[in-house]
């Protein structure tokens, strides 16, 4: 199979306006992935599926990822003048990575017996701008998995044929796989033993007042 760099170059040549970024991976797997622009994600997905060399006809797995706001600290050295003498000092610079959600797809070719190629799309934020295009029209097997990401992460998949909760009940108000999700002290559908509820309330209150 071609390298990601070759695949990226061919996508950008075949799909007008496509913006593709190769993302590093610091996990032990070290698998690189392609970040797609939302505006061209469907066209890129169709190319990956229909291209005769790639023929990525099977999405084995689709999942969501929650990326809350993160303060990144970097130490930099600079030279300053102190009492007429140039000295090198170290400063800590802080940058803020805005929060967003990701939809991640692992693609294989059943026909060519190669893969995976990992592609990602991102929301603008974790609030009202939490939309990405659905890739179910390209890979039908994504339907239930995108519903799961919608349910548990709050990613809205535009163009999905049947976007509704799949694990939580319709009245549920939150998304349990988000990193800032707070589990309720009790459950309306299955009352928790009283002593257990009391201990959970005490633990939560202790965290809320901790410095």
CATH of the domain at 15: 3.30.460.80
Specify the pLDDT at position 192: 66
Specify the pLDDT at position 188: 60
Residue 140 included in any domain = yes
Nearest to 130 by CA among 107, 149, 143: 149
Residue 78 included in any domain = no
Specify the pLDDT at position 80: 80
Q: Which residue has the higher pLDDT, 210 or 149?
A: 149
Q: Is the pLDDT of residue 49 over 80?
A: yes
Specify the pLDDT at position 36: 97
8 and 52 in a single domain? The answer is yes
Q: What percent of the chain has pLDDT over 90?
A: 68
Q: Is the pLDDT of residue 189 over 60?
A: no
Residue 74 included in any domain = no
Mean pLDDT of the 5-34 span = 92
Mean pLDDT of the 45-51 span = 98
Chain centroid to Cα 61, Å, comes to: 13
Q: What is the pLDDT of residues 79-107, one digit of tens each?
A: 887 777 888 888 888 899 999 999 999 99
168 and 188 in a single domain? The answer is no
Q: Which residue has the higher pLDDT, 120 or 204?
A: 120
Specify the pLDDT at position 160: 98
Mean pLDDT of the 109-124 span = 96
Q: Which residue has the higher pLDDT, 169 or 121?
A: 121
Residue 76 included in any domain = no
Q: Please, is 35 exposed, middle or buried when counting C-beta atoms within 10 Å of its C-beta (0-12, 13-18, 19+)?
A: middle
Specify the pLDDT at position 92: 87
Q: Is the pLDDT of residue 128 over 90?
A: yes
168 and 191 in a single domain? The answer is no
128 and 205 in a single domain? The answer is no
- Provide the pLDDT confidence category of residue 198 given band limits of 50, 70 and 90: confident
Q: Is the pLDDT of residue 191 over 80?
A: no
29 and 54 in a single domain? The answer is yes
Residue 154 included in any domain = yes
Specify the pLDDT at position 187: 61
CB atoms inside a 10 Å sphere around CB 177: 17
Residue 35 included in any domain = yes
* 191: containing domain: 184-211
Tell me if 120 sits within 8 A of 104, measured CB to CB: yes
Q: Is the pLDDT of residue 153 over 90?
A: yes
39 and 128 in a single domain? The answer is yes
Residue 30 included in any domain = yes
162 and 191 in a single domain? The answer is no
Number of compact structural domains in the chain: 2
* pTM for this model (two decimals): 0.83
Parallel, antiparallel or unpaired: strands 100-109 and 58-67: antiparallel
Q: How far apart are CA 76 and CA 91, in angstroms?
A: 5
25 and 56 in a single domain? The answer is yes
Strand stretches in the chain, DSSP E = 20-23, 33-36, 58-67, 70-82, 85-97, 100-109, 114-122, 131-133, 156-158
133 and 162 in a single domain? The answer is yes
175 and 147 in a single domain? The answer is yes
Q: What percent of the chain has pLDDT over 70?
A: 95
Parallel, antiparallel or unpaired: strands 20-23 and 131-133: unpaired
160 and 175 in a single domain? The answer is yes
151 and 191 in a single domain? The answer is no
Residue 86 included in any domain = no
Residues of 151-171 as b/e, b for ≥16 C-beta within 10 angstroms?
bbbbbbbeebeebeebeeeee
Mean pLDDT of the 115-123 span = 97
């Amino acid at each position: 199979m071609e390298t990601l760099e070759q695949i990226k170059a061919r996508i950008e040549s075949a799909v007008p306006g496509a913006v593709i970024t190769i993302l590093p991976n610091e996990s032990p797997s070290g698998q690189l992935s392609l970040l797609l622009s939302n505006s061209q994600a469907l066209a890129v997905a169709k190319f990956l599926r229909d291209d005769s060399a790639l023929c990525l006809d099977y999405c084995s797995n689709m999942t969501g990822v929650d990326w809350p706001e993160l303060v990144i600290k970097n130490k930099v050295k600079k030279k300053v003048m102190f009492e007429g003498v140039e000295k090198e000092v170290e400063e800590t610079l802080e940058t803020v990575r805005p929060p967003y959600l990701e939809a991640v797809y692992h693609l294989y070719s059943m026909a060519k017996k190669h893969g995976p190629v990992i592609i990602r799309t991102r929301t603008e934020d974790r609030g009202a701008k939490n939309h990405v295009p659905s890739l179910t029209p390209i890979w039908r097997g994504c339907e239930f998995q995108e519903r799961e990401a919608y349910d548990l992460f709050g990613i809205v998949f535009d163009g999905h044929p049947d976007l509704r909760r799949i694990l939580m009940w319709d009245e549920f108000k939150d998304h349990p796989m988000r990193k800032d999700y707070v589990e309720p002290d009790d459950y309306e559908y299955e009352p928790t033993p009283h002593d257990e509820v009391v201990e959970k309330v005490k633990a939560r209150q202790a965290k809320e007042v901790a410095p």
